[in-house]
Amino acid sequence: MNEITAAITAVGGYVPDYVLSNKELVQYVNTSDKWIYEHLGIRERHILKGEGRGTSDLCIPVAKQICEKRGIDPSEIDLLLIATSTPDMIVPTTSNIVAAAIGAKNAWAMDINLACSGFLAALDVGARFIEGGKYAKVMVIGADKMSAIVDYTERMTASIFGDGGGGVLLEPDYNGYGLKDSILKTDGEGGKHLFMPAGGSALPASEITVSARQHYIRMNGKEIYHLAVKHMVATIQELTARNDLSGDDIKWLVPHQANKRIVLEVARQLSFPEEKIMINIHHYGNTTAGTIPLCLWDYQQLLKKGDKILMSAFGAGFTWGANYFIWAYDGA
């Protein structure tokens, strides 16, 4: 029997209806449409409105869409992995909430919190269960409601982040398609550069933490920029070298949409042409774990069976990595 690999067999995506444009955003924060676009490459971002709505409300449409596209019932899902840093609540997991909502009664459901690298990690975890023969249908979703933890008086984070998510279905393949290799790394020293001070067990919510605005993310953008470029370039180079891949072999680079300058600098250092890079940050901003699957969703009509694809991300932790896939089907 040929080796089992985990192939992507369907893609889904979802962004909320409400669009927060740069023009509207500048009414709340001291910046300009020109500055945001020139520094970040963003024109607009989508925001999930409504009391009591959380990341599960981004994931549920994605999950239903994937099931409909693949023609399966949610009860057939063996494993549901959701990559998110903005769970609906501490317990139960967002994956539990989504599984119940869509009727995935036979699935083991688990959240993975690795910020912007979460979707890559979840893909790798899901693939291991496929490769080991334990599960046959693994749904992997990356989504974040970043508007819940963004301070809309702070220029950088307010400008960068948006809400949204996407996902894929992984199934066994015996013909060489699917996940071929991955690199995942962590440097815990980077935690001080992107974090949310309060809301966890070390500093639970209180009047003091709320009044001190400690339930919003804090970010050292300059430090993140340089390290994101460095590590994304290095992991892509390592992955291509050990799989004997040249730039001509790669059909698409799917980078985390941190900001457009990071994406283009990574491409420049790799001598990778812009026309082979998936970019949609201008429409969605940085949706954290949602950016890579949203790229796959937006570009799915252009994907062809046999396309060699590299995915790469860098995020809080610091965590980073890259995945090498061979695409398993034509179009959407």
Told to judge if 283 belongs to the known catalytic residues of this protein, a careful annotator would answer no
Does residue 95 contact residue 111 with C-beta atoms inside 8 Å?
Answer: yes
List 116, 231, 283, 295, catalytic entry = 116
Backbone angles phi, psi at 145, to 5 degrees: -100, 80
Catalytic residue among 22, 96, 286, 323: 286
DSSP 198: S
Q: What single DSSP character describes residue 51?
A: T
286 in active site: yes
For residue 137, the 8-state DSSP code is -
Q: Which residue reads 């963004």 in tokens?
A: 150
Classify burial at 89, counting beta carbons within 10 Å of its beta carbon; exposed 0-12, middle 13-18, buried 19 or more: exposed
321: its two tokens: 């990595």
Cis peptide before 195 (omega within 30 of 0): no
**Active-site hit among 256, 259, 283, 295:** 256
What token pair was written down for 102?
A: 């869509």
> What residues are labeled active site?
116, 256, 286
